Amino acid sequence: MRRLATVLAAASIIITTQAGAAALADSARAATPAVRLAVTPAAVPAVVKYKFKNCTAMNKVYPHGVGKEGARDHTSGKRVTTFKVSTSLYKKIIGYRSGLDRDKDGIACERA
């Protein structure tokens, strides 16, 4: 068997044979198990975003707007009811840019 002299700088270990190198590699794999997850885009929760420059940018993420629980759209036409209902998210959005709820109805950037 051919001798192999390998110096592992991180651990300061000298391996003198190929069998020793294989044994060390196996023990290192056993000591630090690799965790592999099959992650699909559907499995990853969407990052909640609340800093938007304008309603156009916000409607790309929340197509019908974001509103407080119990909010009703103030309009003379058809009311928007398909907005995302989240009081805490609405407060963050309005806290960052209050102009996103111009009619002060509790729904930011409502769009039918």
How many angstroms separate the CA atoms of 112 and 110, rounded? 7
How many angstroms separate the CA atoms of 6 and 15, rounded? 5
pLDDT in tens, 24-82: 556 555 555 554 444 445 544 455 678 999 999 999 999 999 999 999 998 878 888 99
pLDDT of residue 78: 85
Whole-structure pTM value? 0.55
Q: How confident is the model at residue 90 (pLDDT cuts 50, 70, 90)?
A: very high
